[in-house]
Amino acid sequence: MTAALINVPRKARRGDIIEIKTLMSHVMEPGYRRTAAGDLLPRDIITSFGCRYNGEEIFRADFFPAIAANPFLSFFTVAKESGKFEFEWTGDNGFSETASSSITVE
């Protein structure tokens, strides 16, 4: 099923500042809520996100319980060369998702 929505420009001119937008499907259960019966709902969150541009890490973020479900991130980088952006999310209960997107730089 669909895990991530990624928005990277397909084309850019060399030196352009481009915006990268990612949205990952996740409940982000903070670990503080209780069920109607009073049992604690265990924490289940994404803990880390990283983005690589042709293998080089350009962005990394740690996530915490106060971050909303289906977390959306937007960040910027300089378009240096054609290639691939690789995204990786890891979290509680062995959560691990990856996605990628290519760009043509002219």
Partner 1 sequence: MNLLRAIAVATLLFAATPLLAADIPPNERRSGYSFMAEDTRTIQDDDTANPGMLWVFDGETLWNRKTGDAGKACADCHGDGRETMKGVAARYPAFDKSLGRPVDLEQRINLERTQRQGAPTLPYESRDLLALTAFIANQSRGVAISAGDDAQLKPFVEKGRELFTLREGQLNLACANCHDDNWDKHLAGSAITQAHPTGYPEYRLEWQTLGSLQRRLRSCMAGIRAQAYGYGAPELVELELYLMSRAKGMPIETPAVRP
Q: Which of residues 5-34 bind partner 1 (CB under 8 A)?
A: 5-7, 21, 23, 25, 27-28
- Fill in the per-residue mask, 29 to 68: x = in contact with partner 1 (CB under 8 A), - = not in contact: ---------------------------------------x
Q: Which of 11, 14, 31, 72 binds partner 1 (CB under 8 A)?
A: 72
Placement of tokens 């509680």 in the chain: 92
Residue 6: CB partners within 8 Å, gap ≥ 6?
20, 21, 22, 23, 87, 99, 101
Q: How many CA atoms lie within 13 A of 66 on its CB side?
A: 0
Residue number, 53 or 71, with CB nearest to partner 1: 71
The rounded distance, in Å, linking the Cα atoms of 95 and 3 is 12
Classify 94 as helix, strand or coil.
helix
Q: Decide the pairing of beta strands 96-105 and 11-12.
A: parallel
CB of 96 to partner 1, least distance (A): 18
Does residue 103 belong to the site contacting partner 1 (CB under 8 A)? no
Least distance (Å) between residue 69 CB and partner 1? 4
Residues near partner 1 (CB under 8 A) are 1-2, 5-7, 21, 23, 25, 27-28, 68-70, 72
